[in-house]
């Protein structure tokens, strides 16, 4: 009986020891894996609306209207702004997840001021 217990203790020690290097290898592989990017295809009306990502101007909406022209974003959450003088600005958020997103945006023209003449 003592021999069996000693063998189980020895076996348990052998089983748990290799898991630590395996965890370290797995963490190293995850850290070296390619970061998840995302592509955004934009279809806007009007096509010459300005596009900014995270507050940085990127160009016109027509510049990102399809293959191969698209907005390539790195890992993380990004704010996309589309605006043009005379129209209400549009804002959305995109989380890069390795897939392509297609956004169809119709900017709304500015109307007369609300409450004018009251």
Which pLDDT tens digit goes with each residue over 11-46? 455 554 456 788 888 777 766 666 667 889 999 999
**Max CA separation in the chain (angstroms):** 98
pLDDT tens profile 64-77: 987 678 888 888 89
Cβ proximity of 64 and 41 under 8 Å: yes
Indicate the SS3 state at residue 108.
coil
Residue 50: exposure state from Cβ atoms within 10 A (0-12, 13-18, ≥19): middle
Residue 103: exposure state from Cβ atoms within 10 A (0-12, 13-18, ≥19): middle
d(CA 50, CA 65): 13
């Amino acid at each position: 009986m003592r021999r069996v217990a000693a063998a189980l203790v020895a076996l348990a020690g052998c089983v748990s020891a290799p898991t630590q290097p395996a965890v370290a290898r797995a963490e190293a592989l995850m850290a070296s894996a390619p970061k998840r990017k995302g592509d955004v295809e934009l279809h806007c009306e009007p096509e010459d609306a300005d596009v900014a990502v995270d507050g940085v101007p990127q160009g016109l909406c027509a510049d990102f209207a399809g293959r191969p022209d698209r907005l390539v974003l790195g890992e993380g959450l990004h704010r996309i702004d589309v605006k043009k003088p005379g129209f209400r600005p549009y804002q959305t958020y995109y989380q890069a997840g390795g897939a392509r997103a297609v956004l169809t945006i119709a900017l709304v023209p500015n109307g007369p001021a609300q409450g004018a003449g009251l």
